Structure 1
Amino acid sequence: MLAIVADQNLPLVRRLEAVGFRAWPTSSVQYDGSWQIRLSGGHPSKRLNCVVALDPSDSKDISLRLEKAGRKFEAHGRPLLVRETPLSPKALIEELKNDGWERFDETMTLTGDLSTLTLPDMLDHLPTHDIGRFVDADLAVHASDPSLKPALAEVISAIKPPTGLFLIEDPDSGPVASTLCVQDNDLAGIMSLAVRSGRRREGLGLEILTSALRWARVRGAKTAWLQVAADNTAALQLYGKLGFQVAYRYRYWRKGT
């Protein structure tokens, strides 16, 4: 079972949010006080296109600030989304509730001590340096729209910290699993881990995750972090067995229709 942190460690949340922004960078970042307005003209990822408040005390003029942010999202052809984390002001969340917004897509951020994580003895995979090859594989494994290739390549190319691009490929059917590991000083983030539909429950996810974590540990990372949908029971059980713990949860809000 995953251990759940009862009292939010806000300094840890702030640090993980910061490395998360660097691990999945958007093309446009603007600030309204401590509210970060993240927008991408190419990729539709919610993390790249949302408003994130980074100070629980920054709660002035909420309605006006949401209205201003909405105009920026409209100019980009994006729906206005607010990402709620433990750093979000309570007044902001109350405003969203009272104004008929709906909450969706809860995600857990997990951390694990790389010195104590239980990594099984499995086939090791070395990272590729070919971004184009990795992007093609990632889109295939996720069954994503191939037209997203330029936007995804732009996101990955914009990652500044050292990054390992990991693939497992079948000689006959092509890529079957993919992930990328972003090492930001002593923290290693596992991003976009997926196994192709029809090849799940074969241990491929554990195999590629283990390869990425070993790569990060050899390079000096001390703590691994990753994000997983709160309703992904199988993944949560796997990460719990390895030794990951819940650091915090986040979720999105959108204007009700």
Structure 2
Amino acid sequence: MIAAARIDSLMNQGWPAAHSTELDGWLVRRNAGVTLRANSVLPKSAPFDLGKALDYVENLYAAHDIAPSFQVGPAAQPGDLDARLAARGYEVRNPTLVMGAELTDVLANLGEPASPVNISSAPDDAWMDFWWAVDGRGGSGAQAAARQILNRARALYAVIPSGEPVKAIGRLALVNDWAGLYCLAVDPQHRRQGLAQAVIHGLLHEASTLGVNHVWLQVVESNTPARALYERLGFRTVSRYHYRVKA
């Protein structure tokens, strides 16, 4: 459906770091340590001198008090990078599947939403506070850095209802004719009511008016219930990755 390197590029654009340094084929991302995705190396092509490149990454991240980390998937270069990182003391974190689908197929499988969904082009305070309460790590400074990540990319934001108290949210990053689903969260007291599917429906319906044809998402490999839901909606695994983080 899509090459692994292409999906890596889409994911990078959908969740952009504050600083991205090109290092002989690697993209070294930094964002004040907020979110592993925005503070890891995307190894797009093999550097000429792997040892020197690794030393540079480790020194740069150490200078910014960030644990050296790599996003390692099928397109990572060099091909033996995962083994080289393991030998250097890097540990595996968050094995993740990347799933993709045609937007029209997902909408057809969703059916009518269980609740009205409010869609906007930026996250308001209620959206941010709800997401951070569910998935955030750190205090107000980290939340502000995370908000800057969201605002760097064109995206749609869904919330149920359009006011407080919030029951469910989601984000859809828009990259050309692709869109990436992020930050899907439902209040534990309101789960099993179809709200997650309503959020997805609202986001994809709006995206369908903006020239989007394909959708991707990331799901932790061990999250069997979420994977089952996405498969019912028409998503199929198109790539995978894990992080290698220096202990």
TM-score (norm 2): 0.89
Once the two structures are superposed, the pairs formed by residues 155-174 of structure 1 within 5 Å of their partners are 155-159=149-153, 161=154, 163-169=155-161, 174=165
Partner of 2:41: 51
- Assess, with a 3 A threshold, how the Cα gap between structure 1 residues 197 and 205 changes in structure 2: closer, same or farther: same
1:184-206 CA-to-partner distances (Å, cap 9, x unmatched) read 22101111111123332222211
Matches of residues 1-257 of structure 1 in structure 2 within 5 Å? 12-41=3-32, 44-55=34-45, 58=46, 60-88=48-76, 89-117=78-106, 118-122=109-113, 123-133=115-125, 134-142=127-135, 144-147=137-140, 148-159=142-153, 161=154, 163-169=155-161, 174-256=165-247
Pairwise CA distance, 1:145: 4.3
Return the alpha-carbon distance in structure 1 between the equivalents of residues 112 and 234 of structure 2.
16
TM superposition outliers: structure 1 runs of 4+ over 4 Å:
143-146
How far residue 73 of structure 1 moved from its aligned partner, in angstroms, is 0.3
Whether the 8 Å contact between 1:27 and 1:39 is mirrored in structure 2 is: yes
Return the offset for 1:40.
0.9
**Structure 2, gaps ≥5 residues long:** none
| Contact 1:80–1:254 (8 Å) recurs in 2 | yes
Q: In 1, are the aligned partners of 2:95 and 2:221 still within 8 Å (CA)?
A: yes
Please list the CA deviations of residues 193-251 of structure 1 after superposition, one character each: whole Å capped at 9, or x if unmatched.
11123332222211111111111122221101111111111110000000000001100
C-alpha distance 243-121 of structure 1, shift in aligned 2 (>3 A): same
Mean alpha-carbon deviation: is it higher for 111-120 or for 122-131? 122-131
- Equivalent residues, number: 241
Change (3 A) 1:170 1:30: closer
In structure 1, list runs of 5 or more residues that go unmatched.
1-8
Instruction: Give the match's secondary structure for 2:161.
Output: strand
CA 1:151/1:21 → structure 2, altered by over 3 Å: closer, same or farther?
same
Contact 2:24 2:47 in 1 (8 A): no
1:206 alignment partner AA: Q
Q: TM-score with structure 1 length normalisation?
A: 0.86
Matches of 1:222 and 1:106, distance apart in 2? 27
- State the SS of the aligned residue for 1:127: strand
**Alpha carbons of 1:63 and 1:200: their partners in 2 closer, same or farther (altered >3 Å)?**
farther
- Residues 139-180 of structure 1 show CA distances to partners (whole Å, capped at 9, x for unaligned) of 234365451331122112211x3x211111387x71121111
Encode CA deviations 1:88-143: one digit per residue, 9 max, x unaligned.
12222221222332212111111011122212211341313453323223223436
Q: Sort the Cα spacing of 1:146 and 1:97 in 2 relative to 1 into closer, same or farther, 3 A.
A: closer
Separation of aligned partners in 2, 1:186 and 1:170: 27
**Superposed CA RMSD:** 2.0
